[in-house]
Structure 1
Amino acid sequence: MGFDYNSLLMASGAAGIALCFTLMSSWLRERTSTFLLTWAMCIAIIIAAIVVFSVFHSTVNVLHSTLAGVLLTSAFAISYGGFTQFSTGRFAGGPVAALVVVGAAPIVVSSAFGFDGLSFVFINLMSALLLGVCGYRYWTARAESPGPITAIAALHAMLALSFLLCVIVLAAETPLYLDGKVPDNWAEALNLMVSVIALTGIGGLFVTVHQERISRRHRDASLIDPLTGLSNRRALFERFPDGHVPEGTGLIVFDLDDFKGINDRHGHTFGDTVLRSFARMIEENCRGDDIAVRLGGEEFVLVLPQSSPTHALALAERIRSIMGRMVHPMDDRPVTCTVSAGVAVAEKPGLSLDTLIRKADNALYLSKRSGRNRVSQTTSTAA
């Protein structure tokens, strides 16, 4: 096919070294992405297998082919652990160990009984099966990054198929014994060329998925208030990209009473504790579709899809009452903090989120002017 076996082995090894370096570099920049480190280890083991295969090509010693085969199947078994780290963040040590044993056992046993040809068949067969398992698992996880992960699964399948072709050709040509010859046929050459393509492609795609995860994490962080863990103002407006809220959407604006005085008297650390406690409390009183938001400072918002004035007022009153009874320890002294609220409900279509917030703010100011620690609503529930 224009390439000799050793040249293709060298090309596979060079691709593996470059990939290993790329994955290690990416992991060093982002240590939490441990699947990159596991895959770098897999590639390092594959490189070792390639080196031993090259030695076997010169010696035709069955021990060398056995060692190379065990290294290769072990690398593919460990790559399964890379998948579990990719999907769950944890390395599945037990299943990986089992796969290592299952992959290596038929290779070692057939070699021990002198069936070096059969051993080579098992090297390719077990590699194909392990790659197929990993490819299938990536296929099932493709929803995270459909394009790159689907391509990773496809490259695993392509590589598995090339190993299966080696099985078929080897089984036909040398079913049990090598007879002092090195397997060197079109299927082996094709397998090595596919390996170069697959290793390079999978490595690049893993780096792409890694970068996409970082981008999503940064985006998610930009939508979360770091102090309370609630959604922030940006996240609220992104929930309504056209700027309008559906008819029947309720909105409650909360503002902690005399919060500046609390900070002045007890310190900002204590104030932060009060804010976190209030955030947890309103989350505990939310329905599944409700949106709890910290707008900034001591101001919070609850968006209530498919609500009504009665429900919104009742929820605001319940939260106000719970907050008034909540005790915040401070130097063994109980400290309480009250909250005022304003309620508005969109009872007509096409209302903007800005308008609904403004209506609830007007009701909140009414609560503040009326003595605080109370709930008010707009005079027109139609907002």
Structure 2
Amino acid sequence: MSWIAYRRDAFLLTWSISAFVLFLGSIFYGLYAAMPDRVPAAIGTTGIVLGFVLCWSAARQFRSDTVPVRQTLALATVVVVSQWWLQLGGLVGLMVILSNALAMLLLFASAWEYWSARSERLYSLKWLTALYILVGFSFALCIIPLAIETPLYMDRAPNNWAEMLQMIICIICITAIGGLSLAINQERVVRDRTVEARTDGLTGVLNRRAFDDFSQKREPKGDTVVVIFDLDFFKVVNDRCGHAFGDQVLRSFASVCSASLRNQDVVARIGGEEFAVVLEDCTVERAIVVANRIRLRFAKQKLAYEGQPVRCTVSAGVCGSPPDEPRNIEVMLSGADTALYRAKQNGRNRVCHFEMSLVAA
């Protein structure tokens, strides 16, 4: 049901299938415990380990957004062949030991997949990783008494302290894993919708709403510079070449702008053809250099309409915040807008500084 509401996270479907396979395997293993027979034992251990194969597949799918079909089929083949080969040979004890070892390795591998996705910064990920590791250790504990006390030709299900502990851990932890998988899905939904609400759909940079939120929440401090870029004669380009080409021009500039800035810098589309950039820990002189670099790179973009090259340029206004006189973003934005107006008056395709009207053509 969660997947139907938000179909990106198909790993939920894979995990649900794995939970169902684990459920079926547990039923057959319970039949083996109640009525010792090698066939239910083999079906039970095979089903349980196949369930953990699918758990690993869901974890890999979560991290990479693709189902590892070949690896999953290969692991499933190894599980089925090994379990039934040992069952046919009457080595039920070794079959149970191997099933515990395979389950342990698959659980640890699943934990690693989720841990490898920690860059997503989802709160539930660390708990999900810990639960997989805990369940994996419960299977590891079961191997010890089985290897010491149980003969290879086992005629009944093992019943010892490790088995009881494992049962308790699995009931609690696998239920919690299901809940956390749903929680991660919801975290992703909230995060993605937040990003969508803050991102300009055409260019991929921040939109005006997100920029205004950033401006209001940021405390005034020195060594910050605001730059406003405005595409020259953009309305003429739109009218002559059409909106589709105009959209291409906007995307091209946003790409050049993002590629020319540091990770800590902020870029947003604040109007139709107007972009704002906030440079932290930057002097005005350095900001002018950056703005000119963006201007020159954009002018060199190979844009063409109906096979004919179209040269597009941009003008910019720069306004800084001196270290001894911190200014908020709104004040600097107003100063940068004034400098941009001067750049337009002086012929466009240039950068002007608010304080001294420095023109860099």
Residue 379 (1) aligns with residue 355 (2): yes
Alpha-carbon deviation of 1:67?
2.2
**What is aligned with 1:302?**
277
Residues 145, 209 of structure 1: 8 Å contact kept: no
CA 1:324–1:64: 2 relative to 1, 3 Å:
closer
**Whole-angstrom distance in 1 between the partners of 2:115 and 2:267:** 35
Identity %: 34
- 202-211 vs 266-275, which moves further: 266-275
Q: Report the TM-score when normalising by structure 1.
A: 0.80
Residue 285 (1) aligns with residue 278 (2): no
Alpha-carbon deviation of 1:54?
4.0
Residues 103, 127 of structure 1: 8 Å contact kept: no
CA 1:49–1:297: 2 relative to 1, 3 Å:
same
Match of 1:303, as an amino acid? V
Q: Which residue of 173, 181, 191 maps to 1:216?
A: 191
C-alpha offsets along residues 291-332 of structure 1, whole Å, 9 cap, x if unaligned? 332112111123333333333333333444454565643334
Residues 223, 281 of structure 2: 8 Å contact kept: yes
**Whole-angstrom distance in 2 between the partners of 1:125 and 1:311:** 60
Alpha-carbon deviation of 1:198?
2.1
- 64-73 vs 266-275, which moves further: 266-275
**What is aligned with 1:196?**
171
Alpha-carbon deviation of 1:364?
1.0
Residues 58, 67 of structure 2: 8 Å contact kept: yes
Q: Report the TM-score when normalising by structure 2.
A: 0.84
**What is aligned with 2:304?**
329
**Whole-angstrom distance in 2 between the partners of 1:308 and 1:319:** 17
- 141-150 vs 250-259, which moves further: 141-150
**Whole-angstrom distance in 2 between the partners of 1:265 and 1:338:** 16
Q: Which residue of 154, 158, 170 maps to 2:134?
A: 158
Match of 1:125, as an amino acid? A
Q: Any unmatched runs of 5+ in structure 2?
A: none
**What is aligned with 1:83?**
59
CA 1:333–1:157: 2 relative to 1, 3 Å:
closer
Residues 248, 348 of structure 1: 8 Å contact kept: yes
**What is aligned with 2:236?**
261
**What is aligned with 2:97?**
121
C-alpha offsets along residues 246-280 of structure 1, whole Å, 9 cap, x if unaligned? 42223221112333333334332232222122222
Q: Any unmatched runs of 5+ in structure 1?
A: 1-24
For residues 128-277 of structure 1, the aligned pairs below 5 Å read: 128-139=104-115, 141-142=117-118, 144-145=120-121, 147-171=123-147, 173-179=149-155, 181-184=156-159, 187-237=162-212, 242-277=217-252
Residues 225, 284 of structure 2: 8 Å contact kept: yes
Residues 237, 243 of structure 1: 8 Å contact kept: no
C-alpha offsets along residues 215-248 of structure 1, whole Å, 9 cap, x if unaligned? 1111122222111112223444555664345422
